[in-house]
Amino acid sequence: MTKYYLTTPIYYINDQPHIGHAYTTIAADVLARYKRQRGFDVLFCTGTDEHAQKVEQSAAKRNLSTRDFVDQLAGTWQKTWDLLEITYDDFIRTSEPRHMRVVARFVEELYAKGDIYKGNYQGWHCFWDEAFFVEGDVRDRLCPDCGRELQWVQEENYFFRLSKYNQVLLDHFLAHPEFVQPDIRYNEMLNVLKSGLRDISISRSSLTWGVPLPFDPKHIVYVWVDALLNYITVAGWPQDQEKFERYWPADVHLVGKEINRFHSIIWPALLLAAGLPMPRKVFAHGFWTREGQKISKSLGNMIDPIALVEELSQWTGNRKVAVDVFRYFILREVPFGADGDFTESSLKMRFLADLANDLGNLLNRSLPLVENAFDGTIPFGRPDPKLAAEAEAAKERVQTALDELAFSDALTQIWSFLGKLNKYIDEKAPWRLVKEGRPEVLADVLYNLLEGLRWTALLIAPFLPATAQIFWQSLGLPGQVKERIWDQELKWGLLPTGLSVSRPAPLFPRPEPSSPPLVPAANSIQKRLPIEDFAKLELRVGKVLRAEPIAGAKKLLQLTVDIGEPESRTIVAGIALHYTPAQLEGRTVVVLANLQPAMLRGVASDGMILAAATGEKETEQLALLTVEGEIPPGAKVS
Ligand code: MSP
């Protein structure tokens, strides 16, 4: 049996699963189910990334040990995937001993080979994305990926000789244009390789949570190196050589486009350094957005897949079918690789048109005819060669699409076959045959129709597992449709006669016109604050006593401000391009007084001056907020 090894990213454990994560995982699950039905020996893995710095800090904030904290969280991910019918074969947690051993062993080997060396690292680090950036890539100290403020990191680190593998990778890319997909992502990576790779830091000395370097345990392995290695841990490296030789290299890593560089360049280089084969393919898909913004925890526009399924169950009356609705929508709506905006109206439209009308009605129209004319028993009928040819062609197209990970195309092909079956009913008009008393012709028509339903069950099984099983059982077919191998089953005319059909409860009933919205509007989730949150801000009237420039910072001024406290505050403000020190001294301003202090260009800034601004850079206009009349410093602003 040929093997097929596919993976999802391992998700940061302290994130909350949202539909973005579900997207990759559902796509992987469909692929895994499809490959199993094509007779492959599938290894499908997902898991959690637990050694990020933010995990350590979140645990500390809750007064928990990091270990207790991650153990509490791991279940949430598994629960979500179980609900969504994800059939993973292994769920890896990077804090498991089996993985930590692999990480230590791997870096030790690279060190012994001379591909890891000690050096001094300085550069920008995004705490949130766990990513490092070189000076040239950074503007305004903000993370190029997520826009958050970056930290300047300067420490003794170990480096990986990434640059050494630049040429080999470039050659590999040129020889294998299918290595990274879709093309746009391939081209981005090719450009990165052409512009030259620099060695990367692969350890941190300021952390304790993670895998210590065996040759210098004061250092912890950089979380991304640690995380990428999960893909060989689950494949058995290095202990289980037999398993490793069977499953490695991975056939495809499914990832979001923001982590493509880690998977398409750094990961293959690490493998090359260890003398291990590179993965066969990386597919970097697009983002789900809401009103154009990426769905993410930080933007507060997340949709919890469990909550969404709960709501959809109100429509379907069956939770497993509700899961199918979500799985269908998320893969049908947007071509895999492109970005897509999640709207309730498109979900509803797909539900009504594709699922209720095309799919659900097909079953609703067919089964009563068998019940009425043949006592619910599948009659003997002769295969219709035209329909058989349509089915065969659909199967070929669906397979081609799925082999290319074109999930939406595959569904379009299945739906076009459903269209043919619906048309077949309209044209053959079996109800007329009943009236005309032509039982033999009627038997032929119904047999072919039911055979079409059997094919439908098989074709939709990877995408809509519960619905497929309901179709299967309603035809009286035994066992699990997901276990049936396409090459053996998808032959026109294999439906046995004599089975008893049974009508299931309606699968996709029309939602009540008055049914409540499925998901809260994007801007009503976290963008609007409850009044208690506003009350957390301590805004006070202040009087600027002194203003002075800061050497080397042309935008900043250091202000000494009286806010009615015994001691005046030092506040650094980015207003030097708009106000001279003389214009500020003696002025009344509004101060955010309970902001955490921050070091800005060597000055400890304790508060923030409020200003209104519009435009960017050269065109920026800025005006300080002030208060009318005579109000003493320290007065509360609310
Ligand atoms: N822990 C790293 C991955 C390490 S893999 C060796 C990480 N984790 S994450 O929790 O941030 O998950 C990122 C992945 O979640 C994306 O690459 C993508 O697969 C999925 N998505 C997260 N948000 C998404 C959208 N808004 N849209 C589509 N997919 C999204 O990065």
Averaged pLDDT for residues 114-122: 93
Averaged pLDDT for residues 15-38: 97
Contact between residue 99 and residue 230 where contact means Cβ atoms under 8 Å apart: yes
Residue 270, ligand 1, Cβ within 6 A: no
User: What are residue 3's DSSP bridge partners?
Assistant: 41
Residue 463, ligand 1, Cβ within 6 A: no
Same domain (yes/no): 418, 361: yes
Q: What tokens appear for 162 in the block?
A: 């990434």
Same domain (yes/no): 350, 454: yes
Q: Closest Cα partner for 41 from 247, 326, 272, 262?
A: 247
Question: What pLDDT was estimated at residue 143?
Answer: 84
Averaged pLDDT for residues 169-184: 98
Q: How far is the CA of 18 from the centre of ligand 1 (A)?
A: 10
Q: How far is the CA of 296 from the centre of ligand 1 (A)?
A: 9
Q: Which residue has the higher pLDDT, 596 or 572?
A: 572
Contact between residue 464 and residue 327 where contact means Cβ atoms under 8 Å apart: yes
The b/e string for 239-271 (b: 16+ C-beta within 10 A; e otherwise) is eeeeebeebbbbbbbbbbbbbbbbbbbbbbbbb
Q: Is the pLDDT of residue 57 over 90?
A: no
**Which residue has its alpha carbon closest to ligand 1 atom 9?**
11
Q: How far is the CA of 334 from the centre of ligand 1 (A)?
A: 17
Averaged pLDDT for residues 208-225: 96
- Which of 93, 129, 259, 342 has most ligand 1 atoms within 8 Å of CB, for mutation? 259
The b/e string for 173-200 (b: 16+ C-beta within 10 A; e otherwise) is beeeeebbbbeebbeebbebbeeebebb
Q: Closest Cα partner for 352 from 363, 361, 343, 364?
A: 361
Question: What pLDDT was estimated at residue 521?
Answer: 61
- On the CB side of 230, CA atoms within 13 Å amount to 28
Q: Closest Cα partner for 107 from 117, 97, 120?
A: 117
Question: What pLDDT was estimated at residue 524?
Answer: 46
Give 300-319 pLDDT, tens digit per residue.
788 999 999 999 999 999 99
Share of the chain above pLDDT 90, in %: 77
Q: Does any domain span residue 464?
A: yes
Share of the chain above pLDDT 70, in %: 97
Last residue of a domain, one of 455, 471, 489: 489
Q: Does any domain span residue 327?
A: no
Residue indicated by tokens 């690789």: 337
Q: How far is Cα 171 from Cα 193, in angstroms, rounded to an integer?
A: 10
DSSP labels, 432-468: HHHHHT-HHHHHHHHHHHHHHHHHHHHHHTTT-HHHH
Number of domains in the chain: 2
Of the candidate ranges 184-193, 460-469, 629-638, the one whose mean pLDDT is the lowest: 629-638
Give 525-568 pLDDT, tens digit per residue.
445 567 878 888 999 999 999 999 998 888 899 999 999 988 89
Averaged pLDDT for residues 34-56: 95
580: domain CATH number is: 2.40.50.140
Q: Does any domain span residue 324?
A: no
- Dihedral over Cα of 493, 494, 498, 503: its sign: negative
Question: What pLDDT was estimated at residue 618?
Answer: 64
Q: Is the pLDDT of residue 513 over 70?
A: no
Question: What pLDDT was estimated at residue 274?
Answer: 98
Residue 10, ligand 1, Cβ within 6 A: yes
Q: How far is the CA of 50 from the centre of ligand 1 (A)?
A: 14
Q: Are strands 293-294 and 288-290 parallel, antiparallel or unpaired?
A: antiparallel
Q: Does any domain span residue 204?
A: no
Same domain (yes/no): 356, 440: yes
Q: Is the pLDDT of residue 39 over 60?
A: yes
Contact between residue 470 and residue 507 where contact means Cβ atoms under 8 Å apart: yes
Q: Does any domain span residue 582?
A: yes
List alpha helices for 128-229, DSSP H: 166-175, 183-194, 223-228
Q: Are strands 151-160 and 252-256 parallel, antiparallel or unpaired?
A: unpaired
**Which residue has its alpha carbon closest to ligand 1 atom 18?**
256
**Which residue has its alpha carbon closest to ligand 1 atom 19?**
256
Mean pLDDT of the chain: 93
Q: Is the pLDDT of residue 520 over 80?
A: no
Please give the number of the atom of ligand 1 that sits closest to the Cα of 258.
Answer: 17
Residue 45, ligand 1, Cβ within 6 A: no
Question: What pLDDT was estimated at residue 291?
Answer: 85
Q: Which residue has the higher pLDDT, 535 or 299?
A: 535
Question: What pLDDT was estimated at residue 349?
Answer: 94
Same domain (yes/no): 373, 471: yes
Please calculate the CA angle 395-398-404 and round it to the nearest 5 degrees: 140
The answer for residues whose C-beta is within 8 angstroms of residue 565's C-beta and 6 or more apart is 634
Same domain (yes/no): 355, 474: yes
**Which residue has its alpha carbon closest to ligand 1 atom 25?**
20
Give 195-206 pLDDT, tens digit per residue.
999 999 999 887
Q: Does any domain span residue 256?
A: no
Q: How far is Cα 354 from Cα 331, in angstroms, rounded to an integer?
A: 13
Confidence label for 331 from pLDDT (cuts 50, 70 and 90): very high
Averaged pLDDT for residues 216-238: 97
**Do you know the residue count of the chain?**
638
Confidence label for 522 from pLDDT (cuts 50, 70 and 90): low
Q: How far is Cα 31 from Cα 38, in angstroms, rounded to an integer?
A: 10
Q: How far is Cα 28 from Cα 371, in angstroms, rounded to an integer?
A: 39
**Which residue has its alpha carbon closest to ligand 1 atom 2?**
11
Residue 231, ligand 1, Cβ within 6 A: no
Same domain (yes/no): 456, 567: no
397: domain CATH number is: 1.10.730.10
Q: How far is Cα 74 from Cα 248, in angstroms, rounded to an integer?
A: 26
Residue 259, ligand 1, Cβ within 6 A: yes
Same domain (yes/no): 569, 435: no
- Which of 16, 21, 291 has most ligand 1 atoms within 8 Å of CB, for mutation? 21
Question: What pLDDT was estimated at residue 526?
Answer: 47
Same domain (yes/no): 537, 592: yes
Q: How far is the CA of 257 from the centre of ligand 1 (A)?
A: 9
Residue 20, ligand 1, Cβ within 6 A: yes
Question: What pLDDT was estimated at residue 128?
Answer: 80
Q: What tokens appear for 332 in the block?
A: 């049908």
Domain of residue 588 covers: 531-637
Q: How far is Cα 632 from Cα 635, in angstroms, rounded to an integer?
A: 6
